[in-house]
Amino acid sequence: MQQFKTSYLLSISFISALGGYLFGFDFAVISGALPFLRDQFGLNEYWEGFATGSLALGAIIGCLTAGRVADKYGRRPGLFFAAVIFGVSSLAMAFSPGLYSFITSRFVAGIGVGMASLLSPMYIAEVSPAQYRGRMVSINQLTIVLGILMTNLINYSLRNSGPDAWRWMFGLGAVPSVLFVLGVAWLPESPRWLLKAGKENKALAVLEKIGGKDFSISSVDTMKATLKGNQGVSYKAIFEKAVFPAVLIGIVLAVFQQFCGINVVFNYPSNIFASIGASKDDQLLQTVFIGGVNLFFTLLAMVLVDKMGRRPLMLFGAGALAILYVIIAQLLSVQSALVGVFLLAAIGTYAISLGPVTWVLISEIFPNHVRGAASSIAVLCLWAAYFILTFTFPVLAKWIGMDYTFYLYSGICVLGFLFIRARVKETKGKTLEELESVFTPH
CATH number of the CATH domain containing 294: 1.20.1250.20
The separation between CA 13 and the C-alpha centre of its own chain, rounded to angstroms, equals 15
The 10s digit of each residue's pLDDT in 172-183 is 999 999 999 999
Given a contact cutoff of 8 angstroms between Cβ atoms, the answer to whether 322 and 417 are in contact is yes
Quick one: how far is CA 173 from the chain centroid? 17
pTM: 0.79
User: What was the pLDDT predicted at 54?
Assistant: 93
Nearest of 356, 350, 339, 335 to residue 259 by alpha carbon? 350
> What helix, strand, coil percent values describe the chain, rounded to 5?
80, 0, 20
User: What does each C-alpha distance from 358 to 134, 235, 301 come to in angstroms?
Assistant: 11, 22, 12
Q: Half-sphere exposure of 434 toward its Cβ, with a 13 Å CA cutoff?
A: 11
Q: Is it the case that residue 20 has pLDDT exceeding 50? A: yes
Residue 110 pLDDT: 94
pLDDT on residue 364: 82
Is 84 domain-assigned?
Answer: yes
Q: Are 371 and 382 in contact (CB under 8 A)?
A: no
Strand, helix or coil at 289? helix
CA distance linking residue 387 with residue 436, whole number of Å: 31
Domain annotation covers residue 192 = no
- The residue-averaged pLDDT of 273-292 equals 85
196 falls within a domain = no
pLDDT band, very low/low/confident/very high, at 93 (cuts 50, 70, 90): very high
Higher-scoring residue by pLDDT: 232, 339: 339
3-state secondary structure of 42: coil
Cα gap 437→196, rounded to integer Å: 20
Q: How confident is the model at residue 140 (pLDDT cuts 50, 70, 90)?
A: confident
The end-to-end CA distance of the chain, in Å, is 33
Please tell me the total count of domains within the chain: 1
User: Could you tell me the pLDDT band of residue 200, with boundaries at 50, 70 and 90?
Assistant: confident
**How confident is the model at residue 192, as a pLDDT?**
85
Domain membership flag for residue 269: yes
Q: What is the mean pLDDT of the chain?
A: 87
**Given pLDDT bands bounded at 50, 70 and 90, which one contains residue 108?**
very high
Coil vs helix vs strand at 337: coil
Task: Provide, rounded to the nearest whole percent, the portion of the chain with pLDDT above 90.
Answer: 41
Q: Is residue 210 part of a domain?
A: no
Amino acid letter at 36?
F
Q: What is the CA radius of gyration of the chain?
A: 21
Residue 122 placed within a domain: yes
- How confident is the model over 350-379, as a mean pLDDT? 84
Residue 118 pLDDT grade (very low, low, confident, very high; cuts 50, 70, 90): confident
Note the pLDDT of residue 229.
47
Which of 228 and 381 is assigned the larger pLDDT?
Answer: 381
For 42, list phi and psi in degrees, rounded to 5. 60, 50
Q: Is 307 helix (H, G, I), strand (E, B) or coil?
A: coil
Q: Which pLDDT score is estimated for 431? A: 67
Q: Name the CA dihedral angle for 319, 28, 364, 123, rounded to a multiple of 10 degrees.
A: -170
Among 2-11, 81-90, 111-120, 399-408, the least confident range:
2-11
Tell me what pLDDT residue 432 has.
64
* Domain, as residue range, for 65: 6-187+229-439
310 and 424 in contact (C-beta within 8 Å)?
yes
Q: What is the pLDDT of residues 394-418, one digit of tens each?
A: 999 999 999 999 999 999 999 999 9
Q: The dihedral of CA 392, 149, 256, 333: what is its sign?
A: negative
Q: Specify if 221 maps to a domain.
A: no
User: Does residue 209 belong to any structural domain of this protein?
Assistant: no
Instruction: Name residues whose C-beta falls within 8 Å of residue 418's C-beta, 6 or more positions apart in sequence.
Output: none
Angle at 154 between CA 151 and CA 156, to 5 degrees: 110
pLDDT at 3 over 70: no
When pLDDT is cut at 50, 70 and 90, the band that residue 226 belongs to is low
Highest mean pLDDT among 3-17, 188-202, 216-230, 341-355: 341-355
How many CB atoms sit inside 10 A of residue 416's CB?
A: 25
Question: Can you tell me the mean pLDDT for 123-135?
Answer: 80
Angle between helices 310-333 and 354-364 (to 10 degrees): 140
Asked if residue 195 lies in contact with residue 368, where contact means CB atoms within 8 angstroms, the answer is: no
pLDDT digits (tens, 9 = 90+) for 38-91: 888 888 888 989 999 999 999 889 888 887 888 888 899 999 999 999 999 999
